[in-house]
Amino acid sequence: MTQKVIQIPRINDGRADFATLFSIWSQTNDYFEDVRFDFSTCWFLRPNAVAFLGGLARLIESRLGKVEFDWNTLHDQRVMANVCQNGFAGNFGYPTSAWSGNSIPYREDKTRDVGGIMDYLEQYWLGRGWVQVSQRLRDAIVGHMWEIYNNAFEHSGSEIGVFTCGQHFPHNETLLLTVVDFGQGIPAKIRGFFRQHADEELVAKLTGASCLRWAFQAGNTTKVGEPGGSGLDLLKEFVRLNQGKLEIYSNDGYAIVDKDGERFENRELTFEGTVVHITLRCDENLYRFRDEAE
Amino acid sequence: MKLSIKDQIGPRCIIKEDGQKIYDAVHGALQNGETVTLDFEGVSQFASPFFNFAIGQLLKDIAEADLRRLLQIEHLNETGRLVVERVIENAAKYHGDKDYRKIVDDILEQQAKESD
């Protein structure tokens, strides 16, 4: 079997960085191909990249390819320390154990492990003493985060599961969480749903941005026989009230919700799956519950 | 009839399977016009899949006004109240008829306007 070498560059969490990740995904789309990830040019790697690359490795393995993260090529000590600390390197062949710090552990959930995911959010994401928020707000946050996982498990159809990584940034008191699946993607699911009701010719014209806009509207759901359509709606409202940021990359669509509202865009580079990238502020004073927002 | 949700489910009401348990426990009584009280004392975490199944499903064959009259909810915290209200609002829309052809046409019309 041939081995493809893919360079992992510096990856932050801007749109161009996600384009880089989707380009890496597109380079791995051949079945029965082994992949070696080379970090020679990597001197910065955000948790969104960690979650994405971990999931991508499992995707390649599910196609019977072998994946090697070539840790010998990773020369940047801060990046190395970070991927050791969050457990990512240990998951992929580097002889180390994770330890506590500012990073939030890399996590893989092949199936919906409710207790495990909720404990992770409470204990590792919010509960490390760095987020000074009340218990009531803590409960509200993890409940809203569960909507992301529920959507991923309910809708994506991903056979390899869901991949998560996060980080706490003490200098600006923010928390990041990225949840990735390599399922069908939200626009693809919506187009598939509409095909049952409308002409293929028309459905094919629906853009990724339009599909995401529809998904974000309260009460819209592709579920049949059961009500839904509240999860994203509740999540986006919470993020806006709390001056956070929610970004979703799915197929050819991109959605962003922040204090300025919600916007939807089409992206040239598509990928099969969904990335939810969320930024929350840790300052209790910024948070407002709905009944306090008036 | 009164149900302690913490006893039945625990402190997290977030998944549809748990919502289904509550639906199964209360649906018959509500259909018979009995009053049902759900007591959320000790429950602190909420998400929409639970309420979609526990309460949203009830709107399939119980009118919203009847449901609001017969179903009493106690000790539900603010986050839970927000989720349940949103679920009821959306379930009412869901159980109404939808013309998806028109919805697709409307989306395409909006797309066309945006590309002008």
pLDDT tens-digit profile of B82-91? 999 999 988 8
Return d(Cα B84, Cα B68) in angstroms, integer. Answer: 12
Q: A–B: how many Cβ contacts below 8 A?
A: 118
Return d(Cα A144, Cα B47) in angstroms, integer. Answer: 7
Task: Please work out, in degrees rounded to the nearest 5, the angle formed at the alpha carbon of residue A92 by the alpha carbons of A87 and A93.
Answer: 105
- Contact residues, A window 59-88, toward B, CB-based 8 Å cutoff: none
Q: What is the pLDDT of residue A15?
A: 95
Q: What is the pLDDT of residue A294?
A: 45
pLDDT tens, residue order, chain B (116 aa): 999 999 999 999 999 999 999 999 999 999 999 999 999 999 999 999 999 999 999 998 899 999 999 999 999 999 999 999 999 988 877 666 678 888 999 999 998 888 77
Q: Is the pLDDT at A73 greater than 90, yes or no?
A: yes
| CATH value at residue A211 | 3.30.565.10
Does A204 share its domain with A168? yes
Does A66 share its domain with A11? yes
Q: What is the pLDDT of residue A291?
A: 56
Of chain A, the percentage scoring pLDDT greater than 90 comes to: 65
Q: CB of A169 within 8 Å of any CB in chain B?
A: no
Nearest by Cα to A103 from A135, A75, A78, A71: A78
Contact B108, A206 (CB under 8 A): yes
Where is the domain boundary, A70, A99, A128?
Answer: A99
Q: CB of A40 within 8 Å of any CB in chain B?
A: no
Q: CB of B49 within 8 Å of any CB in chain A?
A: yes
Nearest by Cα to A177 from A237, A107, A225, A111: A107
Cβ A206–B104 below 8 Å, yes or no?
yes
Mean predicted lDDT score pLDDT of chain A: 90
Which parts of chain A fold into alpha helices (H)?
Answer: 15-27, 47-62, 77-85, 88-91, 114-119, 135-155, 186-195, 200-203, 208-216, 231-241
Of chain A, the percentage scoring pLDDT greater than 70 comes to: 95
Instruction: Copy the structure tokens of residue A230.
Output: 């509240």
Q: What is the pLDDT of residue A292?
A: 56
Does A42 share its domain with A172? no
Q: Is the pLDDT at A258 greater than 50, yes or no?
A: yes
A290 — pLDDT class (breaks 50, 70, 90): low
Task: Give the domain ranges of chain B.
Answer: 2-115
Return d(Cα B33, Cα B29) in angstroms, integer. Answer: 7
Return d(Cα A135, Cα A278) in angstroms, integer. Answer: 20
Q: Is A294 exposed, middle or buried (CB count within 10 Å of its CB: 0-12, 13-18, 19+)?
A: exposed
Does A89 share its domain with A138? no
Does A195 share its domain with A68? no
DSSP state of A63: T
Cβ B53–A197 below 8 Å, yes or no?
no
Which amino acid is present at B39? D
Nearest to B15 among A114, A226, A234 (CB): A114
Q: What is the pLDDT of residue A272?
A: 95
What is the number of H-type helices and E-type strands within chain A? Answer: 10, 10
Average pLDDT value for residue range A232-246: 89
A75-79, A94-98, A248-252: least confidently modelled range: A94-98
Nearest by Cα to B99 from A219, A198, A229, A190: A198
Does A62 share its domain with A118? no
Q: Is the pLDDT at A287 greater than 70, yes or no?
A: no
Does A24 share its domain with A169? no
Cβ A229–B100 below 8 Å, yes or no?
no
Which structural domain, as residue segments, surrounds residue A272? 103-294
State ipTM: 0.90
Average pLDDT value for residue range A88-93: 94
Q: What is the pLDDT of residue A33?
A: 83
Give the pTM: 0.93
Does A95 share its domain with A118? no
The domain tally of chain A equals: 2
Nearest to B90 among A146, A203, A227 (CB): A227
Where is the domain boundary, A64, A80, A99?
Answer: A99
**More confident site: A45 or A96:** A45
Q: What is the pLDDT of residue B92?
A: 74
Cβ B90–A210 below 8 Å, yes or no?
no
